[in-house]
Structure 1
Amino acid sequence: AKNKKIAFIGPLVKSVREHLGFWSFDWPDDTARIVSLWDGVQAKVGKTAALSYAKGCELTDSSKQGFDEAIATAMQADVIVMAVGETRDMSGEAKSRSNIGLPGVQEELIKAMMATGKPVVVMISAGRPLVFDYTATHAPAILYTWWLGIEAGNAMADVLFGDYNPSGKLPMTFPRSEGQIPIYYNYFNTGRPAKNETDLNYVSSYTDLPNSPRYPFGFGLSYTNFNYGKLSLSTATPKGASIVKARILVTNSGTRDGEEVVQLYIRDITASAIRPMKELKGFQKIFLKAGESREVTFNISTAELMFYNNDLKYDWEPGEFEIMVGTSSTQTQSVKLTWLK
């Protein structure tokens, strides 16, 4: 960021109270205790980069009066950082929304910034998964910050300027549209599953958008890359109280040190009661230096196979299972095994 001109655009750039979210109380000295994005960035690079600011619009207002100032400010910069999202009282108890898009004209402001031709980073603060189809498709970088608390600005600045390498994974599924809700990774199979995203005839699919979510459960990017080797099992025919070891080699193939969350999913292919297509059964967060590799091992027992059967008994059943390991619920390798009684 040294000697760069950075334009900060959006209604949450200098916001303070919004970072505490819904379940918080106002105190007289809040503004002195809570670090805004603007304050965090000023402390981080204020002496080495030329920072400018324009609000652009309000969080929920429909007025575009601030667009011209925002565009003019952005045109003078090398890169644009946007801070958009929800108000703090939009998510919480009794705060359901039928439309979970970015409120007001915020996504139109993002479109205006993208039209400048400058690199754009979009930071979204919210208390729920939002729908932001245009931004997800066109913005080169998105940082979903949720509500980060009193140190929000410092934390966002650390990630924004590369002093901290993000490693978080989504604990829920982000839809492409409200029409996909409810949407979740551990769904049941249907009688007519679609073969792929273009399979539309008389199957369980949408005619106007893909079945897949915008961002799946377990998804999250890093400033480095992780490659997965071949998944292997210690045995493909375990019996009874056996322990199966699922092993996979993970390599940090990028140029920066980083952390990866390796995820284990299991599918019970045939059971006396319908079972989900996959269920998260374990995960390990590992730190790898650039170029480093490590074998990750999951110990699988019948405890990971148990469910409530039709007699409401918590038990496991012998049969065929699919073991999946990967970086998210949709990016896995799989191996099948047959567990004998």
Structure 2
Amino acid sequence: MGRRRGVTGVVRGDLGRRGFVLGGLTTGALIAAPGIGWAGERPGGGAVTDGVASPDIIDCAGWGARPNSAIVPIWNQRPVKILVHHTASANVADTSRAAADRVARAIQNFHMDSRGWLDTGQHFTISRGGFVLEGRHRSLEVLRIGQRQVEGAHCTGQNVVAVGIENEGTYIDQDPPGALWDSLRTTCAYICGQYGIAPTELYGHRDFKNTICPGDRLYGMLPRLRSEVAEVLGRRVEEADTHKASWPLLRAGDTGDAVLAAQYLLRDAGVRTNADGRYSPATVAAVTEFQQATGAEEPNGILGGESWPVLARTVHRTAEAGSDAARAVGVLTAGRSAEAVPETVDHPAWQDLLGTSGSPVNTAVDPAGPPQ
């Protein structure tokens, strides 16, 4: 895989993230590495906090982590959002502390030995028993200070601006257990309090990548999570603000107007495919071809938060009447009055037509480059 140097001169491997069988702010600067302290600061000093008590977080030494293989980059900026993941592992019945430690070690081994990363990719891990564990080294220390960010490897484009939390299990058609949910809520509230992150700035991995993660059920619970985190923080948020604008996740076996619109948009982009509203193997191949052509991190045929913004280009309906892009708009506006359809269909308009509109998304991206 290709490699390039980031803004600090640290070599950053161009590696993908998912596949574990257990399953920015442009003004930032890399400032510290293991063994380098900050004069006059100590954990807890200068943190932005709403008075939320810290959950019991097991540090790397506590679960027997291996040493990181290279410098853990630390950036002189606070993260502005939280990303929720699932490990895509079995929903095991063992909810003991020993099981939580084993999961943390297995994740680290996979990320270091198979992905080639310097350490665990995510900042924190929550087990099915509700145990919260530090992921990447120094994540807990830096969180306690509340002023800077350990660079993660949980989602390209978000590793400096977002705290990544892995939740043990697979939550496509099952809800997370109560102990995990309670710890996720408490942990998110503490992170928000330490960094001054709004409780509405909680997202799923699929919001930024072509992935099922964190699973349909857990992703569908994010509005509830935003609301409950706000309650823990003692803040009031409007229900509308707990629903963030997003893109529909389309995959093999899906059918309907969103699929048909995507097929017309693929044709508009020069990719040959059927236009029958069925996400068949031919459509999977067409999406994969589009992803390869547009530089998606891991072309996989799933149409999600990384590829939709590229595919759904701005369309001027009258000027482009008869084009495949205009046909895509027509599929989604059938039965609407002409006055109800915008002349210019941009990203917010597409999301409205696709039924996934909501409050604005924090589009900050990091300057750190690919995961490491």
Same fold (TM over 0.5): no
Higher relative contact order (CA 8 A, sep 6+): 2
More helix by share: 2
Normalising by structure 2, what TM-score?
A: 0.30
Q: TM-score, normalised on structure 1?
A: 0.32
